[in-house]
Amino acid sequence: MHKKIRKAVIPAAGFGTRMLPATKSVPKELLTVVDRPLIDYIVEEAFAAGIEHVVVVHGRMKGAIEDHFDHAFELDSSLRKAGKHPLADRISGATPQTGAISFVRQQEARGLGHAIWTARHVVGDEPFAVLLPDMLMVAQTPCLSSMVDLYEETGSNVVAVERCDPQEAHKFGIVSLQPGSDGSRITGLVEKPAPGEAPSNFFISGRYILHPEVFAILEDQAPGAGGEIQLTDALRTLLQTQVIRPYEFAGRTFDCGSPTGYVSANLHLAMARPDLASALAAEIEGLLTRENAKAA
Ligand code: UTP
């Protein structure tokens, strides 16, 4: 019986430069996908996987993210007075229970690995999950739930991976894999390999389940690519003593830290909403007709 995965770390202290100027005064995690902030989807995925406590690592603009997870008493009572009970229920239903979410400050944005290390005292000596909040991962069974299943089966660290076009592999963190009778293992990790030198076309996506030994590795780790404390470097060290299993995510991932991924996520999730789909489909159809006429 392996220790239960009870805690999840959501690193949200980066600068979000690819989404500037939107992220100049609004944290990337609060940008809306249809009508919910991005971080809502991520927190929902965590709790759906059985997580009991979410730790958000934030830096600048901390107030806005914390306020979003407060119970909004005035708003709730005004919506209820106006008879808008379903909307009030939807808002309060998305708010974590008191004590189930906490916030840790990363005083300096020194990289993803450093952001995770910042949460070490709250996580303590137990395995935990990491969800990158800009990677919106959509699937019938949420990605983290499937990863928790794999962890419970094997007791290993688990990293979500996806396949990319081999021509694009140089843009990602790529893993090398070794098949085995008890399932495949990750044998190496390389951040943005030179074109043509990627060991596979499996890239590291936005979810991890890690044993707490990673904190000691991160503590002593020198800055890597871009002068940042990189999680990939720590995982490479972890591989020397522990097994890391790949979980191949087969759903759809939107990188909401980039304009294309963000707009695509909005389109896809809006089209999945029965109350929005037909109006939006008409809008897209009109747009395509105009663009095609222009091109003709
Ligand atoms: P990214 O590199 O995608 O995020 O980091 P970023 O730095 O915010 O975005 P760009 O590249 O400038 O556009 C992956 C995740 O790690 C967090 C980010 O908030 C993001 O969720 N992160 C990154 C931190 O929490 N702290 C850091 O020092 C760096």
Is residue 129, in this structure, part of any structural domain at all? yes
Distance 248 CA to ligand 1 centre (A): 23
Same domain, 84 and 150: yes
Residue nearest to ligand 1 atom 25, measured at CA: 13
Same domain, 277 and 217: no
Same domain, 150 and 264: no
Number of domains in the chain: 2
Same domain, 251 and 276: no
SS3 letters across 89-126: HHHHHCCCCCCCEEEEECCCCCCHHHHHHCCHHHHCCC
High-pLDDT (> 90) share of the chain, %: 73
pLDDT at position 230 is 92
244 forms bridges with which residues in the sheet? 157
**Could you tell me the CATH number of the domain that includes residue 115?**
3.90.550.10
Residue type at 72 in one-letter notation:
A
State which ligand 1 atom lies nearest to the alpha carbon of 11. 25
As a whole number of Å, the CA-based R_g of the chain is 20
* Residue to probe by mutation, ligand 1, list 107, 134, 207, most atoms within 8 Å of CB: 134
pLDDT at position 70 is 85
**What is the DSSP secondary-structure string of 45-99?**
HHHHTT--EEEEEEBTBHHHHHHHTS--HHHHHHHHHTT-HHHHHHHHHTSPPTT
Assess whether the C-beta atom of 8 lies below 6 angstroms from ligand 1: no
State which ligand 1 atom lies nearest to the alpha carbon of 110. 28
Check pLDDT > 80 for residue 207.
Answer: yes
Same domain, 59 and 119: yes
Is residue 12, in this structure, part of any structural domain at all? yes
Same domain, 277 and 130: no
Residue nearest to ligand 1 atom 10, measured at CA: 16
Check pLDDT > 90 for residue 63.
Answer: no
Is residue 199, in this structure, part of any structural domain at all? no
Assess whether the C-beta atom of 207 lies below 6 angstroms from ligand 1: no
pLDDT confidence bin for 294, thresholds 50/70/90: confident
Same domain, 143 and 279: no
Identify the top-confidence range among 57-71, 178-192, 201-215. 201-215
- What is the rounded average pLDDT for all residues in the chain? 93
Summarize the confidence of residues 14-38 as an average pLDDT: 93
Measuring CA to CA, which residue among 54, 68, 46 is closest to residue 137? 46
pLDDT confidence bin for 27, thresholds 50/70/90: very high
Is residue 110, in this structure, part of any structural domain at all? yes
Residue 62 lies in domain:
7-154+206-257
CA separation for the pair 218, 118 (Å, rounded): 10
Assess whether the C-beta atom of 115 lies below 6 angstroms from ligand 1: yes
pLDDT confidence bin for 1, thresholds 50/70/90: confident
Same domain, 43 and 73: yes
Distance 82 CA to ligand 1 centre (A): 40
State which ligand 1 atom lies nearest to the alpha carbon of 13. 25
Same domain, 124 and 63: yes
Is residue 185, in this structure, part of any structural domain at all? no
Assess whether the C-beta atom of 27 lies below 6 angstroms from ligand 1: no
Catalogue the E-assigned strands of the chain: 7-12, 32-33, 36-37, 53-58, 101-105, 128-131, 135-138, 157-163, 173-178, 185-191, 202-210, 244-248, 252-255
Q: Which two tokens stand for residue 271?
A: 């089209």
Same domain, 145 and 272: no
Summarize the confidence of residues 48-54 as an average pLDDT: 97
pLDDT at position 90 is 85
92-136 per-position pLDDT tens digit: 888 888 889 999 999 999 999 999 999 999 999 999 999 999 999
227-268 per-position pLDDT tens digit: 899 999 999 999 999 999 999 999 999 999 999 999 999 999
Is residue 172, in this structure, part of any structural domain at all? no
State which ligand 1 atom lies nearest to the alpha carbon of 228. 28
pTM, entire model: 0.94
Same domain, 245 and 267: no
Same domain, 145 and 266: no
Q: Which two tokens stand for residue 235?
A: 């995982």
* Residue to probe by mutation, ligand 1, list 65, 112, 114, most atoms within 8 Å of CB: 112
Q: Which two tokens stand for residue 17?
A: 């430069």
The answer to whether 281 and 219 are in contact (CB under 8 A) is no
CA separation for the pair 253, 178 (Å, rounded): 24
Task: Work out the number of other CB atoms within 10 angstroms of the CB of residue 289.
Answer: 10
Is residue 182, in this structure, part of any structural domain at all? no
**Chain length of the chain:** 296
Torsion of CA 253, 255, 261, 265, to 10 degrees: 50
Q: Which two tokens stand for residue 173?
A: 């963190």
Distance 15 CA to ligand 1 centre (A): 6
Summarize the confidence of residues 198-211 as an average pLDDT: 95
Assess whether the C-beta atom of 57 lies below 6 angstroms from ligand 1: yes
Is residue 34, in this structure, part of any structural domain at all? yes
pLDDT confidence bin for 58, thresholds 50/70/90: very high
